[in-house]
Chains A and B, each alone.
Chain A
């Protein structure tokens, strides 16, 4: 072999490699992922062992007084980890400067902070920072017209959506803008009414100072959305992130009681609900907001607790930049009683869906308003859920557990005690068929006022109810700690 041959062979191989490699355009380099980029979602319990879990509670009425029948509120903090830890609470309100306090939390311990005893304001929210992660935080509102609860959220966002709004008569629909950061946030607010989109100048470039809350009364005179049976609200921060919630109160033929719950931080193609109801003592209205520029075809699918003929499907058309409502009581084929539901678009468009569930007891109405659980792009939904505190009194149908898959699942409900998870008798193994719904009672003494853990063998959604007057108020549990 000549001296040249090896060199020529090597070069030829290199050229061949080159040609082969250039046979197609290379995939662009994957972008650098600094953070997973998880978009905001529902409240979820972080894993134990992280540096710090931060919860944002939008606010409770803090006009003074105590919890014995007068207006007020509390923040319930549960340590769901086996180690004692501390939590720092920073109170944020619309009138008072922020204040801080640090509390100790025992292993699987629980603390209830009487917010209106600490701060005097129209609404006072809180930032709860739990060292070491694992935990769940919820806020409760006490009001003569009824109590309400909602999980605090773990996400801030620069966009928020409230699909449900009701400003008829004496009903109040207030938007709470809570800025927990050390810098001012500036927002723009839009109202989506039946007459079109309104952008009140007062709420364009609206500043929310650092560590403060601002309140927008959607139905106030001059605000632009008075007397609306349905009005959506979109809040967009031009810079920074904040927390937006609704504070709704009414006492008329349609609604009653008080609800304070976070808005939806995202739009999505699917919105799930676990605790629907149809009957003479309940009304259920889904408000479907289409924030996009084109009309959307959506379908509402109901999953009755008593499965007779399978899911009930209702098509809905949602015009661009409008909110439409769907009353489950008008859905033919849907049996009375509890049901789950999912509202989804057929073409992948993103919408926002809130549900206003009004239950009637002893002539008084208690309306629970909450957004659904949006689907995640990765398809993950939780298999375990947490309650920072169970109901304070025995509650019938205290939980609504919806199996979102076609395979049956087994669910266990436990109390978090000092020694760990303690199954609640009778709730150790609840069988739920595919797309089935279970509504177990929380009547066992062990379940009262204690952190609860609901663990399933498959993907489930869990809403919970707390007593409110003669009936109950419904809200979501906290997903996790193993939420996808």
Chain B
């Protein structure tokens, strides 16, 4: 082909229901000055005939063919190979939403001649603003990810105007040599709307053709495929095409390692995405990989189909590709741009580049790790709710599956959803307990800080995010939560910023435009599409449901902060819809979280939602507000973190002031509750102080972000006066406020007790005693109980646990039932002094020991113990059937001399007594005829748990009597004597008993209610739906794969001038 000779160009335009712009497109096409240009319009869809009319009017010489919209863009464009005979020419493949400059085609052809290229593409610019670059071709990494040299919104300042080789050209406007297109067999017909450009260009490189961009040719492009085809999940299609291209176009020698690398990269992307707010993208890649792998036969067929197109060695093609991962590079770069909203428009601009953010993150992570160094070595000692994980590890799921809840005195009751979540985490970490505990604890902390950082991204400056990160991370609640093993506090710490972040996005609050410095813009408002809003709401519910599953008490604080944010917005006259959304989204989120935790959530009590019997803390206002514990004066320095918030309210403007007001409202509300409670002015109906301190920490973080984010505009940009000293004072407060956190880091284990109560329990109350299993009643200050306690009308809290070590399943409170009522009643009599036989009242429930905690090393220390509840020990000591025994100084232990084992065989007067209900009968009952149930081998049987979890168990009974199971009366229990089923009845008015008529072999079993399976199914469906709804970027419709074009024959083209 001679360069100087004119060559025929056939312009092929695929048209599908174009919009109002189409006239402008046609005018641009008609205005081309290239002399030998024929237009072929392929009309795929034109319901009202408007497009055809425009073509006839503006481009009357064009050949128009209506096509069947069943083969997609790629298939339609391939039709040109059949419709146009001969190879001596060029095809200009065009979308219907472009507007080339008049000389664009001429320049493309000229460059084609100059470079002897196979494919030539123009510089694509924004349809509305031709100063904004859209594409100048892309590179490609070895994992199929295009790598564009330009950034979103980048201005065209001729910086990319050099002609150069690229790997991929978009098909919006693409000049391709006719013979090349024919030899390649056209586009991959499977490509439809995505990936056809990548596939074609890659194969062109295989064929040895050059792919170049000619930036002198300028084409405006709307690029609104998502808006025009909203029913398609474009992200998923893109991901699938990327995987397809890699597996079909990578050379045979490199295919296996490349596939393995692709799998690894995809997994990493998914994991990283989970922690960086790009989970949906990671999920798309993961599913696309799976989708492609299961279509392996089709992949192999395609490879066979194009095998002959490879004309050059693979290394030459690889040399053209980008090293490393363009996806990672793109990710990193995209973090430096952001969408900003001003009064008039939404723009994408460079985010402020700052190495400070990375340094801050590095420092925070390092300090968290340093502060946890000893704790990590010990895999975080079993303090508070951070108890040991169940052994064996599969117990998580067994407990979820079983309808029998072995905690407390046992009951047929729903299992906490959190068991499943922690079980999944444990499984994901291959049941490595130490790793799971470490990941759980540190993960929650870092997740919370990351959430605060994301929330602070409403401020366009990096230093605002830095301030938010630092303040939220420096809150003393981290040290306190870790020291006390307060899982609920850590969960709240992690969930609160994320819930507010999602809520603000639901409300339509975007990052305000830093360029909009003059107006008093209350918020940068975007208008999320209904689909996006639905997805966000699903995400909010997912966050709250997860949070509630682990710590129901977090819901109250999260909901309260949502309302406080709304009130703060009202104060500063933020948009009413935004304020309303804060409330509505919170309500929806809370309701959704409750539903997602059914049926367990139906058992939630005040203890679950508010906490125990009240903090009982009177630390003094300042210490309480500082969020620290007692005895450390330097915790008060954390109050320095309050100064930036006060300064922000007084100094900041525009959206910064709006957020300062929201933060102030949150902090004020939480602080007011703390202060009033500290002064004894309100009852124990508020969340714990430390939970409120989490809300305060988030408010302070936002306040700090507001003042630092607006420092240039609100402080330096104004006349010298009181604002500048105040801002400096705020910065000083920030520095001072960090000191307690830095001091806490030095301990290495956050000052967690060396010998936690859980460790003491393991030695003091071994799992097996010489008389079989037993239970322990913990009684005392709510803060000192090893598991969540039930508040008693007597003023103390109590909890019943099995003998033996505790595990994390017991970190959730147990539901209340008749057995718990019996305990409560016994405690009432004990407190009132109306019995001297409290041991007998507790005996049927298998309670052998009563433990009164004195010190746990956190809230109460041996050298500074909390006062014991007045009269508690004396009341126990005054009981005739309860005796004190030797115990460590951290706990007072009493033994119940009247106890009946949880699985016992009763004879004589005791058997008779079991038929009587009422406490009056019990206190004078003869309980001497009690023996622990033993199995046929003579070993004590932990009948209750064994039968409930592992099926039937048996025991030999020597004489007539009563089988006593120290669990609430439950018809699910079965007993059979030598195969004959025995009727169940209530024992002692509360437990489960079977009258045994004579000696024989007893078989004891538990029938798992079928409703449990149904509930688990419903629960799984709810959670999977939530996850799917959160990850889906578009509505719930599946991608429509119907072709959009059908090219008919075009014989006249062959007859036309060449």
**Which residues of A approach B to under 8 Å, CB–CB?**
3-4, 6-8, 10-11, 14-15, 17-18, 21-22, 25-38, 46, 50-54, 86, 88, 102, 127, 129, 131-133, 156, 158, 180-183, 210, 239-241
Contact = CB atoms under 8 A, between A and B. Distances in A.
Nearest to A54: B836
B621 A29 contact: no
B877 A158 contact: yes
B870 A129 contact: no
Given A21-B675, A32-B869, A52-B834, A27 B680 contact: yes
Contacts of B882: 181-182
Contact of B836 (A15, A129, A183): A129
B883 interface: yes
A8 B572 CA distance: 10
B1001 interface: no
B573 interface: yes
B835 A239 contact: no
Contact of B871 (A4, A33, A132, A182): A33
A180 B837 CA distance: 11
B621 A36 contact: no
A52 B835 contact: yes
Nearest to B619: A26
A181 B896 CA distance: 11
A180 B880 CA distance: 6
B501 interface: no
Interface stretch (B213-221, B658-666, B951-959, B1038-1046): B658-666
B869 A33 contact: yes
Given A18-B671, A32-B869, A32-B870, A8 B649 contact: yes
B679 interface: yes
A6 B660 CA distance: 12
B920 A14 contact: no
A241 B882 CA distance: 11
Given A32-B869, A51-B834, A240-B884, 15 more contacts: A3-B522, A14-B671, A26-B621, A29-B617, A32-B781, A32-B796, A33-B795, A34-B795, A36-B871, A54-B836, A129-B836, A182-B882, A182-B897, A240-B877, A240-B883
B832 interface: yes
B675 A17 contact: yes
6 closest Cβ contacts across the A-B interface? A183-B883, A35-B871, A50-B834, A182-B897, A34-B869, A7-B661
B185 interface: no
A51 B919 contact: yes
26 contacts: A4-B572, A4-B650, A17-B672, A18-B671, A18-B675, A21-B678, A22-B620, A27-B680, A29-B617, A33-B869, A33-B870, A35-B830, A35-B874, A35-B875, A36-B833, A37-B871, A46-B834, A50-B829, A50-B832, A51-B919, A52-B834, A129-B836, A129-B924, A131-B920, A181-B880, A241-B877
Nearest to A157: B878
A48 to B, nearest CB: 11
Nearest to B883: A183
Nearest to B831: A35
B672 A127 contact: no
A156 to B, nearest CB: 5
Nearest to A24: B679
B924 A51 contact: no
A54 B880 contact: yes
Contacts of B870: 31-35, 37
Given A33-B869, A34-B796, A34-B871, A10 B835 contact: no
Interface in B832-851: 832-837, 839
A156 B830 CA distance: 14
A53 B875 CA distance: 14
Contact of B837 (A15, A25, A28, A52): A52
Interface in B747-792: 781
Interface string B619-650: 01110010000000000000000000010011
A35 B833 contact: yes
B621 A129 contact: no
B188 interface: no
B923 interface: yes
Contacts of A6: 571-572
Contact of A156 (B657, B675, B878, B898): B878
B680 A26 contact: yes
A7 B653 CA distance: 12
Interface string B855-899: 000000000000101111011011111111000000000010110
B665 A241 contact: no
B884 A11 contact: no
B869 A131 contact: no
B618 interface: yes
A171 B208 CA distance: 129
Given A129-B924, A183-B883, A31 B869 contact: yes
B874 A26 contact: no
Interface string B916-950: 00011001100000000000000000000000000
Contacts of B881: 181-182
B825 to A, nearest CB: 9
A14 B663 CA distance: 13
Given A11-B649, A35-B870, A52-B837, A102 B621 contact: no
Nearest to B617: A29
Contact of A22 (B621, B796, B830): B621
B657 A4 contact: yes
A30 B679 CA distance: 11
Contacts of B837: 52, 129
B668 A11 contact: yes
A3 B672 CA distance: 23
Contacts of B287: none
B665 A10 contact: yes
B413 interface: no
B273 interface: no
A324 B875 CA distance: 34
B795 A86 contact: no
Contacts of B568: 7
Contacts of A11: 646, 649, 664, 668
B152 interface: no
B660 A7 contact: yes
A132 B834 CA distance: 9
A52 B836 contact: yes
A239 B617 CA distance: 31
Nearest to A37: B871
B794 interface: yes
Contacts of A34: 794-796, 831, 869-872, 875
Nearest to B873: A34
Nearest to A88: B924
Contacts of A27: 618, 680
B1048 interface: no
A18 B872 CA distance: 36
A28 B618 contact: yes
Contact of B835 (A7, A32, A51): A51
Contacts of A22: 620-622
Nearest to B833: A35
A2 to B, nearest CB: 9
A131 B668 CA distance: 55
B924 A14 contact: no
Q: Which of B622, B680, B829, B924 has the most CB of A within 10 A?
A: B924
Nearest to B567: A10
B69 interface: no
Contacts of A51: 829, 834-835, 919-920, 923
A158 B657 CA distance: 66
A35 B870 CA distance: 6
A37 B874 CA distance: 8
Contacts of B679: 21, 26
A164 B661 CA distance: 76
B378 interface: no
A129 B840 CA distance: 14
A183 B897 CA distance: 8
B616 interface: yes
B639 to A, nearest CB: 11
